[in-house]
Amino acid sequence: MFSVEQSGTFGLGDLPVKRLGYGAMRLSGPGIFGPPKDRDAALAVLREAVASGVNHIDTSDYYGPYITNQLIREALHPYPDDLVIVTKIGARRGEDASWLPASSPAELSQAVHDNLRNLSLDVLDVVNLRNMLGVEASMEAPLMVLADLQRQGLVRHIGLSNVTPAQIAEGRRICGIVCVQNHYNVAYRKDDALIDSLAGDRVAYVPFFPLGGFTPLQSSTLSDVAEDLGATPMQVALAWLLRRAPHILLIPGTSSSAHLRENLAAAELDLPDEALKRLDGLTSLAAS
């Protein structure tokens, strides 16, 4: 069994977590909607992740919806003392499996209570406000709601997801922000400058789609480096992210125990400087 100890640690506020965590999104059915094909396998993946040292799980009640959080509760409750569960609000699922904004005060409050209930928690460790309103939208109104829920003791820490630097700056004028979740990986680096700016403030950066998301990363350079190192391309992509900056936290998702082990093994993969240089040149969208 692999351990994630070598990935190092970083804090989500006052909550230290291993830098290689687990994203639970894929535990629900196709399209992140409905129940999993194999419920026992989904429960086994969660238990193996925690047994391997993972203490940072990313989830949301709109995965399924509700199903992923219910699986987490069934597999892991009562939770280990050091387990940090990070959830998201700000979206909901339509009956046709569409992804819809849910940012009104009532929707946000309901989402927090739904996450508490389905995870069987009294307080949520970290809640990310997912921006579904666009790059020009103000985060003030929904963040004020979330900050009020924090004052009520229902939320410990607050993060932002799918946001611009301007939206982050706006958010930090309203409340403390412990993490930012945006699209980023070895081939998609629009947030390079943002990552560097967050480092000085010790705000964690959590890339979603670290392996390409619904369209897995494909690159001859990535494959060649992996072959030279006796690793898989996905392990190399994760190892590059761990090397990119110490405040980057990874949450690769899978519904397969075999893929989980492959991902966790990236913690032990040492990238030589020459391999790092080749990967640094691999980008389909450079920062501008």
Q: Which residues are catalytic?
A: 63
Q: Are 10 and 247 in contact (CB under 8 A)?
A: yes
Q: Are 207 and 241 in contact (CB under 8 A)?
A: yes
CA 118/CA 71 separation, integer angstroms:
9
CA 57/CA 42 separation, integer angstroms:
14
Task: State the sign of the Cα–Cα–Cα–Cα dihedral 268, 270, 276, 279.
Answer: negative
Q: Where are the alpha helices (DSSP H) in the chain?
A: 39-51, 67-76, 105-119, 140-151, 165-172, 192-199, 220-229, 233-244, 257-264, 273-280
The candidate with the shortest Cα–Cα distance to 252, out of 242, 224, 243, 231, is 242
Q: What share of the chain is helix, strand, coil (3-state, %, to 5)?
A: 40, 20, 40
What DSSP character marks residue 5? G
CA 26/CA 31 separation, integer angstroms:
8
- For residue 92, CA distances in Å to 88, 171, 206, 213 come to 10, 22, 21, 19
- 115 contact partners, CB below 8 Å, separation of at least 6: 60, 61, 69, 87, 89, 121, 124, 127
| Pairing relationship of beta strands 124-130 and 91-93 according to DSSP bridges | unpaired
CA 15/CA 278 separation, integer angstroms:
34
